[in-house]
Amino acid sequence: MRVGIVGAGIGGLAAAAAFTRAGADVVAFDRPGAAPAGAGISLFSNGLRALDAAGVGEAVRALGAPPELPAGIRTPRGDWLTRTPPSSTADLRVVHRGDLHAILAAAAPAVRIETVAEIRTTADGAAVVLESGQRHDFDIVVGADGIGSRVRSTLFDDPGIRYAGYTAWRGVTSEPVQVAEVGETWGRGERFGVAPMADGRVYWFAVASAPPGWPVPDESVEVTKRFASWHPPIVELLRATDPRTILRNDILDLAHPLATFVKDRVVLIGDAAHAMTPNLGQGGNQALEDAVTPGRTRRRRGRPGRRASAVRLDSPRQDGADCPAVPARGPDRPGGQPGRRHAPERFDPGDAGPQRRPRSREDARLAAARAGQRPEMTGTGPSTRSR
Ligand SMILES: Cc1cc2nc3c(=O)[nH]c(=O)nc-3n(C[C@H](O)[C@H](O)[C@H](O)COP(=O)(O)OP(=O)(O)OC[C@H]3O[C@@H](n4cnc5c(N)ncnc54)[C@H](O)[C@@H]3O)c2cc1C
């Protein structure tokens, strides 16, 4: 089976690794000049298990675990609003994005640096048309081209992007900095988050309400000025960060959920499918879940064939239940609900059956979202976790 992947970010590279592991012939494309973002990323247990499925979980875990420290939410003066025990983040890994990218890239075929201009569905597959005019035919095409996805805008009923009302700076200290506590600090219209990495360097993020595209002459000066009076070690972290590496992004998400992630033999994953605000630290983790689901399904069933690309990834949100790597929730698991079962995989490479009937309140919520109603979880409210 030939698989074309548009975009080689976290999701695209993980999909390339997973499909390659499943025996597919994979070609991934990315635009010239795209560099892995230079800050950190929080990987939760769902993302780590998806990385296991892509064959790189151990390599990522080998980067090391962050120190187990008291965590919670504080005021700018340093008073605790909520506290959580160190064990609550025992599964968390905070890694440099560049390291994650390098591990995924080593498990995937070399990426072809060419901008994809268009996707065309065909009778038995889909074609990727490059800006150079070249055309490549595949059995399946994966749209992993991020929040501004061209695959989504050309083939899907694109809801468009909206600004969440705030902008975010991110950085990683150039050297180790001692921190005694982790988590977030909440001020009025501003937040700051601290997440140490295994090697002692610290990933931090800062968030402020601002108009979209707000021009700032010097991001480092601006963020330092804004948080200068906040509790230690915030200023120390900013001083220990090379100003040239500080990133700033306006926070965006999709205006409303897509009705489907699948169009004939094209499937959207990651931000292309369900770009979300970073408050739950799940955008990358869920891109990883999406990425490994099709490849694993194919490997497990061993039915490559030409019909392999009929897909049934037909819900606007899969909420983790569809990732084969994620354990079922149940009454014996934290957060589980009695009677909730692990949903069947819906990316079915062999059989595009009829749409399932809603079986639970969650399914009913998803069905309502499909009908145009906004689900609760895409809000832009205050953060409850570090990213
Ligand atoms: C401030 C901030 C903090 C975050 N923190 C976390 C966190 O801690 N944990 C977490 O899980 N998530 C986090 N996220 C979200 C996470 O970064 C994204 O959800 C994730 O990167 C999405 O991965 P992706 O592969 O879908 O898209 P992307 O990473 O955007 O990759 C898309 C790729 O497609 C390429 N591309 C685009 N168009 C074309 C084209 N026409 N042709 C060829 N290639 C193309 C791009 O060059 C890019 O390489 C955060 C986001 C922000 C903004």
Closest CA to 372 of 147, 161, 159: 159
CA–CA distance, 56 with 1 (Å, rounded to integer): 22
Residue 376, classed as helix, strand or coil, is helix
Give the model confidence (pLDDT) of 163-212 as tens digits: 999 999 999 999 999 999 999 999 999 999 999 999 999 999 999 999 99
Query: 200 phi and psi, to 5 degrees?
Result: 95, -20
- The ligand 1 atom at the shortest distance from the C-alpha of residue 14 is 25
User: How far, in Å, from the CA of 161 to the mean position of ligand 1?
Assistant: 14
Per the structure block, which two tokens stand in for 297? Answer: 């399904």
CA distances from 128 to 109, 172, 273 (A): 17, 36, 18
Amino acid (one-letter) located at 107: A
Other residues' Cβ atoms within 10 Å of the Cβ of residue 165: 14
User: How far, in Å, from the CA of 151 to the mean position of ligand 1?
Assistant: 15
Residue 103, classed as helix, strand or coil, is helix
CA–CA distance, 82 with 3 (Å, rounded to integer): 47
Find the farthest-apart pair of alpha carbons in the chain and give their distance in angstroms, rounded.
63
Give the model confidence (pLDDT) of 231-260 as tens digits: 999 999 999 999 999 999 999 999 999 999
Q: For CA atoms 332, 336, 338, 344, give the dihedral sign.
A: negative
Give the model confidence (pLDDT) of 26-55 as tens digits: 999 999 987 766 799 999 999 999 999 999
Token look-up 């309502």 returns: 368
pLDDT of 369 strictly over 50: no
Domains with residue ranges and CATH for the chain: 2-41+102-161+254-378 (3.50.50.60), 68-92+163-252 (3.30.9.30)
User: How far, in Å, from the CA of 351 to the mean position of ligand 1?
Assistant: 30
- The ligand 1 atom at the shortest distance from the C-alpha of residue 207 is 1
- Nearest alpha carbon, ligand 1 atom 52: 278
Q: What is the pTM of this model?
A: 0.81
Whether 143 lines ligand 1, by a CB cut-off of 6 Å, is no
Per the structure block, which two tokens stand in for 139? Answer: 């059995």
Q: What is the average pLDDT across 301-324? A: 39
Per the structure block, which two tokens stand in for 57? Answer: 């979980």
pLDDT of 78 strictly over 90: yes
